[in-house]
Amino acid sequence: MPKCTINGKEVEVKEGTSIIEAMQQSGDRIAHYCWHPGLSVAGVCRLCMVEIEGNPRVQIACNTMVTEGMKINNTSEKVRDAVKWGLDFHLINHPLDCPICDQAGECGLQDQYMEYGKYDPEMAEAKVKKHKVVDLGPTVVLDSERCILCSRCVRFTEEVSKTNELGIFNRGDRSEIGCHEGVELNNNYSLNTVDICPVGALTSKDFRFRQRVWYLKDGDSVCNGCSTGCNIKVFYNKEGLFRIKPVYNEQVNGHWMCDSGRNAYKFVNREARLVKGMVRGASGWSEMAPGAAAKSAGEVLKNTSGDSLALVLTAQYTVEEYEAIIKTFVEEFKTKKIYFWINNKETFDSFDGLLYRGDKNPNTKGLLRVMEKYGVTGTWADLSQGLSSGSVKTVVVAGPENQAVFPDINDKVKELSKAQNLIWLQSGKHEALSALTGNVWLIPLKTFVEKDGTFVNFSGLEQKIKKVTTVVSEALTLTEAALLLAGKNLAIPTTAQPFLPNNQRPDQVALEARKKNEFVFRRGSL
């Protein structure tokens, strides 16, 4: 493998590695816009300039390969001057939209200017006016004046999504990004173009004008929208969750994620959540704390024989939670009538060729492993027969957490409500559940961002998730619910707590609120 020297440090790289990749590997910062590790090399921004010993001219780092003994630097005045005036050309027609731009605070243009620019502009002519608020499709809005024509979005639709909606039209300073005639940017990966846009020309309709990024915290997790298990970053503050973006993982999702998975934050926010336990009897619905509701349901289970008790599980919870609840039902309640609720049977094994899978659960493999461990083999047909004959009198259901990917939820509620007692463990509200009559318990559960655990994706890869924040403090994990149903005592909050970031005290929140008076851009990376 060739060795080179970058800014005085010796670096060993694989054969065929470009200088910009070598600099990323060594941790050296380098100006760039058009280069992206998940896309082909375009070499159009001319900012990734480096000086190579023995070469009289500066070279672009994205399209120059490392050779043995090469000595490279991007800290000389010659390089910095080249980058500074390259930035001048990029900014000639760029509008001063920072106060209203969603990208402000994580903008590559701001970062590069502060590091390499700070020049006195010499442009006397008026800026070229281009189209603003261009509706490209159902998810993305374009501001052509901000666009620096890096072509990342065009290359994405050509090389990754392979949908080819975008192109560069016109010539010279009139060039603009846009959709081909009669086509809109409407594919399940369209919002990746917003992620990779370095300047805020492409913005998400869902996130547009909702929050300033420096008011948001973030935490890593795993998407629970399908069995791929894309690695993600969740952005939130005390008001709630606001967006989800992909995190690079070479084994799982690379640099990308689908648009459907980005909506997972919506069912986590408090307005969509079941906050209190709800118990329905002869006199109608009554509210109680989730822990108390679980204990109340546990009294029913205590008086139910194992032959007449069934457990229905969706594959949206962690391996640790399945271990706890299945063990409880097999050993404490003496029943193996445990069933897997499979959503979208017709498309369960489908795959779009990139990331999105028909199995809309993050942990199907994990659930099946635990069911196999405890010798659970029942089919849904067995449960349907038991409900119809009346041999199954009490049913406990866990999930689904992400109701949007379960189109048959109304049908399942109707079928499962045939039981004399229905105990439903659920994180979100649902009209069909609220409309039930008879003996019903609705017990709030925590979502995937509120707990630790393990998901096993379609390939059998185990991925750990960590608690990001708490939205509904009283809600239970499935493990806690299982223990309470079995009559165990747990310390569960009985009063609602404010929405706080993970492990943050109220005094810390007050301190951060005071700090917000300082207008500071949070540095992002391209």
What is the per-residue pLDDT across 87-104, written as a single tens digit (0 to 9) for each?
A: 888 888 888 889 999 999
- Contact yes or no for 178/346 (Cβ under 8 A): no
Determine contact, residues 49/58, Cβ cutoff 8 Å: yes
Segment 250-275 mean pLDDT: 95
Mean pLDDT value of segment 150-171 = 96
Find the mean pLDDT for residues 345-365. 92
CA pair distance 146, 131, nearest whole angstrom? 10
Q: Which helix (H) or strand (E) holds 169?
A: strand 166-169
For residues 429 and 447, is the Cβ–Cβ distance under 8 A?
Answer: no
- Give the closest residue to 257 by CA, choosing from 233, 288, 241: 233
Cβ atoms < 10 Å from Cβ of 410: 13
Residue 129: other Cβ atoms inside 10 A: 10
Residue pLDDT, tens place only, 308-336: 999 999 999 999 999 999 999 999 999 99
The chain-wide mean pLDDT, for the chain, equals 90
User: What one-character-per-residue DSSP string does 209-234 give?
Assistant: TT--GGG-EEEEEE--SSTT--EEEE
In the chain, which residues fall in CATH 3.10.20.740? 3-91
User: Residue 449 has what pLDDT?
Assistant: 96
Q: Give the H/E segment covering residue 87.
A: helix 77-91
pLDDT, residue 92, reads 86
Are 178 and 166 spatial neighbours (Cβ–Cβ below 8 Å)? yes
In eight-state DSSP terms, residue 126 is P
pLDDT exceeds cutoff 90 at 517 = no
Helix (H, G, I), strand (E, B) or coil at 375: coil
CATH 3.30.70.20 fits 125-267, yes or no: yes
pLDDT at 491: 67
Closest CA to 310 of 275, 287, 341: 341
pLDDT digits over 35-63, tens only? 999 999 999 999 999 999 999 999 999 99
Quick count: other Cβ atoms within 10 Å of Cβ 327? 15
CATH of domain 3-91: 3.10.20.740
User: What per-residue confidence (pLDDT) applies to 78?
Assistant: 93
Indicate if the pLDDT at residue 498 is higher than 70: no
* Amino acid in the structure at residue 259: D
Q: H-type helices in 303-418, by residue range?
A: 319-327, 364-373, 380-389, 409-416
Does the pLDDT at position 513 exceed 80?
no
Residues of the chain within CATH 3.30.70.20 domain(s) are 125-267
Output the pLDDT for position 503: 46
Q: What is the mean pLDDT of residues 186-205?
A: 96
Sequence length of the chain is 526
DSSP codes joined into one string, 239-275? TEEEEEEE--BTTTTBT---HHHHGGGGGTSGGGB--
Question: Which SS3 state, helix, strand or coil, does residue 432 take?
Answer: helix
User: What pLDDT was estimated at residue 152?
Assistant: 97
- Which CATH code is given to the segment(s) 273-495? 3.40.50.740
The pLDDT-based confidence of 305 (bands split at 50, 70, 90) is very high
Task: Please report the pLDDT score of residue 380 as a whole number.
Answer: 94
- Read off φ and ψ for residue 53, nearest 5 degrees: -55, 130
The separation between the first and the last C-alpha atoms of the chain, rounded to the nearest angstrom, is 28
Over pLDDT 70: what percentage of the chain?
A: 93
Q: Per the structure block, which two tokens stand in for 217?
A: 């915290």
Residues of the chain with CATH 3.40.50.740: 273-495
Burial class (CB within 10 angstroms; exposed 0-12, middle 13-18, buried 19+) of 383: buried
Q: What is the side-by-side order of every strand in the sheet holding 231-237?
A: 217-222, 231-237, 240-246
Residues with Cβ within 8 Å of residue 125, at least 6 apart in sequence: none
Rg (CA), the chain: 27
DSSP, collapsed to helix, strand or coil, labels residue 398 as: strand
Assign 492 a pLDDT band (cuts: 50, 70, 90).
low
Q: Which of these ranges, 52-66, 79-93, 230-244, 392-406, has the smallest mean pLDDT? A: 79-93
| Cα–Cα dist 421/442, whole Å | 11
Write the pLDDT tens digit of every residue in 104-152: 999 988 888 888 877 677 777 888 899 999 999 999 999 999 999 999 9
Q: Which amino acid is at 469?
A: T
Q: What is the pLDDT of residue 493?
A: 55
> Is the pLDDT reported for residue 496 higher than 60?
no
